[in-house]
Amino acid sequence: MTSNDLLQRTIECFWDTVPPVWGRVRGNARCNAIQDFNLTLIQFHILRHIRHGIHSVGELAEKQQISRPAISQAVETLVEKGLVIRLPDTQDRRYVRLDLTESTTRLLEAVFSKNRKWMAEKMASLEESELQTIIAALEILKRTFDPPAY
């Protein structure tokens, strides 16, 4: 096998593995949020995006590719549930920052903790050498695809 053939086989293996695995992991987290915490899928996505630094209705609408009125309605429901707070900007009265409440941060941690437990159950049967191989492969992928720091 040539090095180009090996590279192409690696790329195919990546596409056959990473998206389906990631899809199952994300799907499990979403399922936990929806079932255990009475959230809709869009509400879970909004909370997750706010947790990752998206703090305005406009940014959320763009990220979710949903209209601003639809996002506003979902955000309003989250505010009514006490999961999101609105913070007016002191510099620009038109801008309202969305943030998570303390209880929401704990709720999301519970969702992700349950997801990590599920992953641990899935991976518990792997040999130590297999786990080390996965760690090494993931570190290589991270290094390969992370932009260099200047």
Sequence ranges of the domains in the chain: 39-100
Give CA–CA dist 111/114, Å, rounded.
Answer: 5
pLDDT tens sequence for the chain (150 residues) = 899 999 999 999 999 999 999 999 989 988 888 888 788 888 988 999 999 999 999 999 998 888 999 999 999 999 999 999 999 878 887 788 999 999 999 988 998 899 999 999 999 999 999 999 999 999 999 999 987 766
Which of 33, 69, 70 has its CA nearest to residue 48? 33
Q: How far apart are CA 83 and CA 21, in angstroms?
A: 29
Say what the pLDDT of residue 150 is.
66
Report DSSP state, residue 124: T
Question: Please, are residues 58 and 97 in contact by the beta-carbon 8 Å criterion?
Answer: no
Q: How far apart are the first and last CA of the chain?
A: 37
User: What global pTM score does this model have?
Assistant: 0.71
What is the dotted CATH code of the domain comprising 39-100?
Answer: 1.10.10.10
Look at residue 149 in the predicted model and tell me its pLDDT: 66
Phi and psi, residue 142, nearest 5° = -60, -45
With H, G, I as helix, E, B as strand and everything else as coil, classify residue 97. Answer: strand
